[in-house]
Structure 1
Amino acid sequence: MTPSSQPFPTEPIDSVSLAHRRPAASVIAECLRVQASVPPNTAVQRFFGVSPLGREAEPWYVGALGELEVARRLSALGPEWVVLHSVPVGSGSSDLDHVVIGPAGVFTINTKHHRGQHVWVGAKRILVSGQRTNHLRNAAHEARRTSKLLTSAAHMPVEVTPIVAIVGAKRMTVRERPSEVVVLREAELVRWLRRRAIVLSAEQVGRVAAVAAEPGAWGRMAPGEVVGHDAFERLRANVGRAGRRRVLWRLAVVMTIPLAVFGVWWAAFGSHLAAANP
């Protein structure tokens, strides 16, 4: 059973199994923390479709949307797979976007939401709109760390494959695939995972999944945050509503300009035409 099919509590992360932790929990918590200092939109701002999202909260908001989309895709894997989301690691603020455990092995997925941008993939690096990123290095580090922690906790060797999931890119060009890290669009994830060779038995999947669901396996012993998922959904609805209103205003402007031009033209030449054609 995947966590997405289970009810989600809102207690701190260490009071429940990580199998119940909802997607993007850490990113949502940070988004709401930053957004809390942003004043609510005025009636005039709402009327004109000004986004309620603060500038500093926007990267966290976009990141959360990416993780939610990948989680939605992963929910289609089936009952033989276990998916953990937003897994806190260590005593700091680090977390793993998704940990996938199934017949094909164990995978860490680092979600990158590059909405509307061009992503270029090479053997040693990933460029986003021409800018270098640390996506490959970070994903490889996460996988090595996960392998070490789960191997120790499960008392069996656990190999981990790192994946970078690219969400929302306008175009993705793969010049050469990296040797250590798998780079996929979000729509490719489930199909790619299902096509991998079987390397773990059902008993091994259950064993690793049970260990991975325990916060202690990740060195996370401090109390975790309580995440306001309902507050994030309200923010998401308000952002969407503002976006739709801006679209309507743009359409209104596009339709008004030709009418205004025609009005000016008619004022200048219409009376002459009427007089010439009684």
Structure 2
Amino acid sequence: MQRFFGVSPLGREAEPWYTGALGELEVARRLAGLGPGWYVLHAVPVGSGASDLDHVVIGPTGVFTINTKHHRGQNVWVGARRILVNGQRTDHLRNAAYEGKRTSKLLSVSARMLVDVTPIIAIVGARRMTVRVRPYTVAVLREFELVGWLQRHPVTLTPEQVQQLAALAAKPATWQRAPEIESVDHAAFERLRRDIERARRRRVLWVTLSIAALPFVAISTVSATVSAIP
């Protein structure tokens, strides 16, 4: 019955995860346009806990970590030291900077040389993004700006260096994880996304039908009232 009336199959606790996952998928789709000579890793597990890096990009213009933030329909304000979403302060800059430093440390140890890493925050779906002052250590970009920005960045790595770093990044041991990493069930996620979209369409249909029925309800009410007058 709940499915018939368009109730979402997603629990409230899981909504932030689902929204974040949609943002990561959109950024992954964009990064696929980088072309040959670029290597992109998604959802890279780091350490022994549950934390991961949304995306790691390695190419001629360097190494980048991308922290995806899905703020669909919201207003984002960017300053030198903080990011506000609908007026609320966030930890986006601090978290992204930490990811960049951590990635630089781990890749530098594996490569036995200093590997500079540029952290990026990818803002997905925002209604408006106002940049008052660009942060000094973290790049903040809209999702549609990513590929062009990465490709226009100054070239810093040779093709051989890119391949070497990409090979190291592909090894779980680089990130201090156990060799076997649980894979993501993409098919299950796609099924969930289809169920949620169907539920959304049903809700829209029921609202539309309810609005369309209002005039008839009003006419029926008036008619009943008139009939009741002696």
TM-score, scaled to structure 2: 0.94
Q: Which amino acid letter does the alignment assign opposite residue 64 of structure 1? A: A
How does 1:232-271 map onto structure 2 within 5 Å?
Answer: 232-265=189-222
CA distance in 1, matches of 2:196, 2:163: 40
The 5 A counterparts of 1:20-169 are 44-169=1-126
SS in 1 for 2:118: strand
Residue identity (%): 67
User: Aligned partners of 1:125, 1:151: CA distance in 2, in Å?
Assistant: 28
Q: How far apart are residue 58 of structure 1 and its match?
A: 1.0
SS, match of residue 37 in structure 2: coil
Aligned counterpart, 2:184: 227
Please, which of 180, 184, 194 is the counterpart of residue 137 of structure 2?
Answer: 180
Match of 1:33 in 2: none
Q: CA deviation at 1:269?
A: 7.3
1:178 partner amino acid: P
d(CA) in 2 for partners of 1:231, 1:256: 38
What letter is aligned with 2:155? I
Quote how far apart the aligned CAs of 1:256 are. Answer: 1.3
Query: For residue 91 of structure 2, what is the amino acid of its counterpart?
Result: N
- 2: distance between equivalents of 1:257 and 1:105? 60
Partner SS state of residue 42, structure 2: strand
Tell me how far 1:130 sits from its aligned partner.
Answer: 1.3
Amino acid at match of 2:131: V
Report the AA paired with residue 47 of structure 2.
G
Deviation at 1:266, TM superposition (A): 5.9
Find the aligned partners of 1:135 and 1:227 in 2 and give their Cα distance: 25
- Aligned residue identity for 1:177: R
**Contact in 2 for aligned 1:112/1:167 (Cα 8 Å):** yes
The letter for the 2-side match of 1:195 is R
Cα offset for 1:227?
A: 2.6
Number of aligned residues: 227
Structure 1 residue ranges without an equivalent (≥5): 1-43, 271-278
Give me the CA root mean square deviation: 1.6
Q: CA deviation at 1:258?
A: 2.5
Return the offset for 1:221.
Answer: 2.1
For residue 116 of structure 1, give the secondary structure of its aligned residue in structure 2.
Answer: coil
1:217 to 2:174 alignment:
yes
Rounded to whole Å, the distance in 2 between the matches of 1:172 and 1:261 is 44
Q: CA deviation at 1:174?
A: 1.0
- Deviation sequence 1:135-188 (CA, Å, 0-9, x none): 000100110111111111112221000000011112111111101100011111
- The residue matched to 2:12 in structure 1 has which SS? coil
CA–CA separation in structure 2 for the residues paired with 1:269 and 1:187: 60
Instruction: Give yes or no for contact 1:90–1:219 (8 Å, CA) kept in 2.
Output: yes
User: Structure 1 length as normaliser, TM-score?
Assistant: 0.78
CA distance 1:226–1:78, shift in 2 (3 Å): closer
What residue number does 2:147 align with? 190
Task: Look up the equivalent residue of 2:129 and give its one-letter code.
Answer: M
Task: Tell me the alpha carbon deviations over residues 191-215 of structure 1, each in whole angstroms, 9 at most, x when there is no partner.
Answer: 1111111111111111111111101
